[in-house]
Structure 1
């Protein structure tokens, strides 16, 4: 097998397993492309992306760019790579940069394309109630996530699984899939097929995507909570204060409650929906630490009815 000279493009933690897999392969990671350092934490300390930090540990040169302008394109061209490999970089690759690597670019995307093209495929899949997810490695083209597919793999979505835990799971299995495709491209045996099926879109999540609508059915509310966890987080408002819902479960075979109405029964915090109530398991009250929902309820000291708005 011929060894390829690679440029790896990625930014968040979920991209690190793929970078590690390539660093441990027969191929050479000649450089890493990632987003610029950003302020993190309460003190807003300028912090490199997880991919940049891992590249630094491995002694790989890093190109930091949020937009692939002429300077970034020139830096990529100077590396003289055979293949560009993208995993959650967080920026578009323009036409003039797509043609720089000899074999173009491939992308690991955490969905079964053409389902959930876009920035938040895992989150949108869970919010929609999908029971199966997966990963796809495809040839990068100008149109969003539309290139021919080299390989796919599937993963079931657990009934209680959050977007965060599923992404972590897919980041590991997807890294193995990506490595196989890189090897096949090096060997000259890779074959890509056009995408087939209905296209669905997965735009980036906003804070409002996490706002709970208790008038929806319990399953829809539960799917939303799981899909926006850990970011941007699910929340509701009680007496003008924001309450983040970190973990919940559908309370089946429980007497119904009016949508948004809270009740403490059998040491459980229940909230009404359009169907079954939801049991809150862990919450994060505004200005306080995350805690068990029962502990939060006991601290309310409220004798009046509690209703979310």
Structure 2
């Protein structure tokens, strides 16, 4: 089958590699335009764009999929299907109609649950016990197209969003390849359970702020859902009520310890505890302002007995 693959971040690479290694022909890759990065603001290709260049695959980088030059190029390529993983732009209907089997999206949730940009993050924040990946045909409505297949992933309640995405990227690559293999003989099934629809918008910086009056298990879910990005944060203060500086928390763990006020920090020899609305939360990985990520216990030892608060 003749394919044009669309994707942008590294989470799309396992699927692209699987399709390139298959009997199908990946004739081109579509990805987002090069972006300015670092202090130099040098234009850098996306992870998918770089992988395609390294493997000699022609790459299209339209500012928007409706751009006439891109539409003409895709039409000339005449793909049978366009597999999609985290491309990052809305595809208009007349472009969806170009390949005869459509655009086949790999989405990292069990649709119709968690339609949107941050499905894994939202699943962890909500305390879901199972997630997965779904392949479906793109339509104009958000993640509402008919489904080809799913794969499930049980959650232990300790995973970060980064870990779950990595697992699903590889499991999903197999699902996507199986879906493309069967496109000529399989009809997708419409999503009909509208009562099961939940939305997964991108997590804002303000949403990632930790409210220490909330229960420890809720804060743990927020931290894991925001790891590695945008990363949960709070402010570090020398005294309760004082002005503070931003302080990121990459990983925590609910503790049975009680007796700490919300936001009160207790640095022990081998761990750091913070009071919440219930029991304390142990800080496992933190990133103080201007420093690299470090173990919470190492940061705590650097306090040298100084009393600080998180708020």
Q: Say which of 167, 170, 188 aligns to 1:169.
A: 167
Instruction: State the Cα distance separating 1:246 from its structure 2 match.
Output: 1.3
Superposed CA deviations along residues 38-94 of structure 1, whole A, max 9, x for unmatched, are 122344332111111111122111000241122221221121111111100000010
Counterpart among 273, 276, 291 of residue 276 in structure 2: 273
Q: What does 1:25-174 correspond to in 2, within 5 Å?
A: 25-68=22-65, 69-174=67-172
- Does the CA-based 8 Å contact 2:5-2:29 persist in structure 1? yes
In 2: Cα distance, 1:154 partner to 1:79 partner: 34
Q: Which runs of 5+ in 1 are unaligned?
A: none
User: 1: distance between equivalents of 2:299 and 2:39?
Assistant: 24
- How far residue 191 of structure 1 moved from its aligned partner, in angstroms, is 2.4
Q: Which residue of 1 aligns with 2:223?
A: 225
Give the superposition deviation at 1:302: 5.4
- Output the CA distance in 2 between the equivalents of 1:255 and 1:98: 56
Q: Corresponding residue for 2:247?
A: 243
* Aligned equivalents of 1:145, 1:66: Cα separation in 2: 22
2 CA distance for matches of 1:41 and 1:249?
33
- With 112-121 and 238-247 compared, the bigger mean Cα shift is at 238-247
* Inter-partner Cα distance in structure 2 for 1:142 and 1:122: 22
**Is contact 2:267–2:301 with CA below 8 Å preserved after alignment?**
no
Give per-residue Cα distances to partners, 1:125-173, cap 9 Å, x unaligned: 1111111110000011110100110000100123221001100000000
Are 1:307 and 2:303 matched, yes or no?
no
Partner of 1:287: 290
Partner residue, 2:3: 6
| CA root-mean-square deviation | 1.3
State how far apart, in whole Å, the 1-side matches of 2:53 and 2:144 are.
Answer: 32
Query: 2:286·2:296 contact (CA, 8 Å) conserved in 1?
Result: yes
Q: Measured at CA, do residues 73 and 256 of structure 1 come closer, stay the same or move farther in structure 2, by a change above 3 Å? A: farther
- Do the aligned partners of 2:268 and 2:300 also contact (CA within 8 Å) in 1? no
1:96 is paired with a residue whose SS is: helix
Higher alpha-carbon deviation: 234-243 or 35-44:
35-44
Please state how far the C-alpha of 1:210 moved relative to its aligned partner: 1.5
Cα displacement string for residues 2-53 of structure 1 (whole angstroms, at most 9, x for unaligned residues): xx11010000000000000100111100110000111223443321111111
Query: Under a length normalisation based on structure 1, what TM-score does the superposition of the two structures give?
Result: 0.94
Counterpart Cα distance in 1 of 2:252 and 2:42 = 33
SS at match of 2:310: coil
